[in-house]
Amino acid sequence: MPTGKIVDGSLSWGLKESFRRYVSTGGEVKTAGGAKKTTNGYTFPYAKADVDAKARKVEAAFGGSVRFLYKAHGIDMKFSDIEVKATGAKGTLVLDVTTPEGTANDVEFATLDLSKASYTAKNDVLVLDKVPATLTADGAEQFANPTTGSPYKEGDAIDPVTVALSFTDDAKLPDGTGTSGGTGTSGTTGGTGTTSGTGTTGGTGTTTGGTGSVGTGTIGGSVGGSGSLASTGSDLPIGALLGAAGLVVAAGAGTVYATRRRSLTDNEA
């Protein structure tokens, strides 16, 4: 392995494909600070890194941010200041999570499985490629709400992580396209669900008074389940509803003011 200072790098990660697809059905994703959207996720620019070849140890930090917004459902979550800490076969993904309620700094968000990762640099570039990642308890807690808790639990799989670090200025880094895992894209509903599913937003008594435009195949397919909001019979799973949602839902002839937040289903796509 080359020795010396790391001069450049990148992180490729998509957070969670089903969550991206869900937000894409009615919300938007904003990148900033040099982060960029790719086919299957996002790339984040290099900030700093230390590599110890003999100890098989990598600590790398990346700039930029990605913000998920779905105003109709009260979602506003920004992920930034991402760090990858890897030693041998194990590692941790650490980041900041910002919501309207404030910022949780240095959250140990996910556990990384580096048992199949190579710490050997090729062409002066070290690549930890598509490292499997699962939520920690603290990571899952970031999506919790006071009413139903978190839709995710410790050990739930999220998108894999790819870290690329170069030892020389002229070394070519991977472009990050297609390295964040999953078959969906950040700009489509993807998966098996469609916006013309067979279900309705309100079961037999729809919230729109019609046949419903979002069926069990849409958000349920995106997020990976068929859970519903008990008070309305809705098949719309929702995650990370932070603070008072202030969400108004039409239910039959009346109007329900949802002061609590709806949750995503536990069975992921």
195, HSE (Cβ side, Cα atoms, 13 Å): 7
Give backbone dihedrals phi and psi of 22, rounded to 5 degrees, phi first.
-65, -50
10-residue averages of pLDDT along the chain (269 residues): 80 96 96 96 97 90 98 93 97 97 97 95 94 98 87 97 95 66 37 40 41 36 32 35 34 32 40
pTM: 0.68
Residue 203's contacts (CB-CB under 8 Å, 6 or more residues apart) are 228, 233, 235
Question: pLDDT tens, 53-109?
Answer: 788 999 999 999 999 999 998 899 999 999 999 999 999 999 999 999 999 999 999
